[in-house]
Structure 1
Amino acid sequence: MIKISRELKAGIAALVILALFYWGFSFLKGRNLFNGGLNSYYTTYKNINGLKKSSAVTMNGFTVGKIIDIRFSDDPEKKGQLVVEFTLEEDVTFSKKSIAKIYSGGLMGGKSLAIIPSYDGETAEPGDYLKGEIESDIFSSITDKLNPLQSKVENVIVNIDSVTHNLNTLLNKQTLDNLNESFENLNLILASLKNTSTSVEVLVQSNQKNLDATFSNIKSTTKNLKTFSDSLAQIKLTEISAKINRTASHLDSITAGIQAGQGTIGLLAKDEDLYNNLEAASKELEELLRDVKEHPKRFVHFSIFGKKERKYEEAEETKEN
C-alpha cells in the first residue's frame, strides 16, 4: 500500500477546494461548468431598469439561461450604454432578428430577460448581439398614462387660479355696489311693470262691454262692406253685359243692312254697276294722271310777256306726234 504523505493530502485538498470555489463562483455568475460548453450572447441597453447578474433568461416562459455579466460598453459609438452578457444552457436556436426584452417577473419580483425568438433570416451564433428592448411594467404604464393627465390637471388648476384672480379683481367693492344698485333698479322696473299690467287689466275689465260692442260693430261693418262690394261688382257686371249686348245688336243691324244693300257700303257690296263705274273712273283718272305727267304743256301755260304761243305749241306737239 502506497503511503501518501501529509503534504500531498494537503495539496490535493487545496486543489479540490480551489476547484469547488471556482465552480461556485462561476455558478453564481451564471456559468454551469458541468453542463457542456457556454453559449454567450450579448445585447445593449441605455438603461437596464434594475436587471441584475444571475437573473434568469427565458424563452416562451421557459428558463433557458442566466445573465453572467453586465458592464459598460467599450465602443466609443455606444458610450454610456450597458452591455448584458447572457448564456443559454439549453440547445435552442433562433435567428439574429430575435429580440432580448427586459421584463418584470411580477409585482414584487425583480427583472428578467426574455428572448422573443424569430426564425427568419440567419441563425444566431454565440457571440452575436441581439436587439434589446424594455417592456413597460404596470407601474411604468400607469406612470406614462398619469403624466399627461397630471399635465392637464396642472393646466386646469392654473386656469382656475387665473379665473379666480380675475374674478376677485372684477368683483371689488364698487362693482358689488353697482350690481346691488342695478338689481334694486331692476326690482323697481318689475314692480312698475306689474302695476301697469294691473291697471291695464282693470281698464279692460271695466270696458269689457264697450269693447264687445265695438268688436260687434266692426264685424257688422265688415259684413256690410262685403255685401256692398258684392252688390257693386254685380251691378258693374250687369251694366257691362248690357253694353256688350247693345253693341252686338248694332253690329247685327249694320251687317244686315250691308247684306240688304243699304247705305254706301251696302251698295258697294251689292250694286255691280256702281262697282264697275268706280273701277272705270279709277282707270280714267290713272290715264289722266299719266297724260299730265307725260305732256304737262297741254295743261299748264306760262309766259313772261303774256303772249300765247298756242299755234307754236300745237305745231310742236304735232311734230312730236
Structure 2
Amino acid sequence: MKISKEVKTAILVLLGIALFIFGYNYLKGKNLFESDSLYYTEFDYNALSKSSVVTVKGNTVGKVQDIIYDYKTGKTKVAFSVNEQLKFSKNSIVKMYQTGLMSGNALAIQISEEGELAKPGDVLKSKVEVGIITSLSKNFTGVSSDLNTTLKTTDTLLGNINKIVVDESDEGLKKTIAELNATLKSFKELSLSANSLIAQNDQNIAAIIDNFKNTSQNLSQLSEQLKEANLDDTLKNLNTAVASLNNMLSTIDNGEGSIGKLLKDEGLYNNLEGATLQLEQLLQDMKLNPKRYVHFSLFGKKAKQYDAEGNEIKDKE
C-alpha cells in the first residue's frame, strides 16, 4: 500500500501539533503521561514560579501548576499537582522553603496521618520556612549599623593613641619613656650593689649554706633515729594508758569501786566527817585532861576515875 504525500504531510502536522502541546504543558510543569491531582494552598506573598517542584521528604512528587493573586484577601493562591498515588490527610501542611543559596523556592508537603484524607480541590494549610539569604537580608541592616559604630570607635581609639605618641608636653609619652629609662638605670645600680654585697660576703654566705646543710643532715639523722626508736609502739602504749586512765576516771565518776564510793557516797562522807570531829574532840580532851587517860603508879595504887564532865568519881565505902 502506497501512502500519498498528502497523508504523510497530515501525519507530520498532527505529530508536530502533539509535540507542541506536550512541550508547552511540560514547560508549564504538567506531564501529560502522568495522572495528577490538583490541590491548593495560600501564602501572604509569592516567591514561587509555575515550574517550582513539590517534594515529600526530599523526593519530587509534583509541580506548581498555577499562581493566582486574590484581590479580595490579598493572598497568593497556589495550585499544585501531585501524583495520584500519594495519600495524605487534610491536616498536612504545605511548606514553602528555599532549595539552595542561589536557587529558587519550592513546596514541601509535611504529611500528617491524622484526619480525613485530602481530596483534589482541597485547600491545605501553609507556612514559610525562612532561608539563609532571607535571614541575612533582614539582619544586614543591623549588622551594618553595628559595624559602622565599631569602625567609628576604632577610629577614635587610634586618634587618641596618635595624640599620645606625638604629644610634646610634660604629660606625653616621651616623659613616660624617660621615667622608665631612669627606673631601669636605678634597677641596674641596685643589681650592681647587690652583686657587690654578695661578693663581699661570699664566705659568710657559704658558711651559712654549710650550716644549713649540716642542720638539714642532723634533722635527717634525728628523723631516722625517731623512726628506729619504735615511736609508733610508744604512741600505742601511751594511747592504751590514756584509755585505761579514762576508763578508771569513768568508773570513779560512776561511783564504782572504793574511791568512787568515797567520792559519790554522801553517807560515808558524813560518817567520816563525824568520826573526824569525834577524834578531834578526843584529842582535845586528852590534851586538857591527860590524867583521865594515862595513869602511872609505882605501888599499885588504884587509878582515879572521872565522869564525862571531868569530875573525879570517888569510891563508895
Into which bin does the TM-score normalised by the smaller protein fall?
0.3 to 0.5
Select the structure with the greater relative contact order (CA < 8 A; seq sep ≥ 6). Answer: 1
TM-score (structure 2 length as normaliser): 0.46
| Higher Cα Rg, which structure | 1
More helix by proportion, 1 or 2? Answer: 1
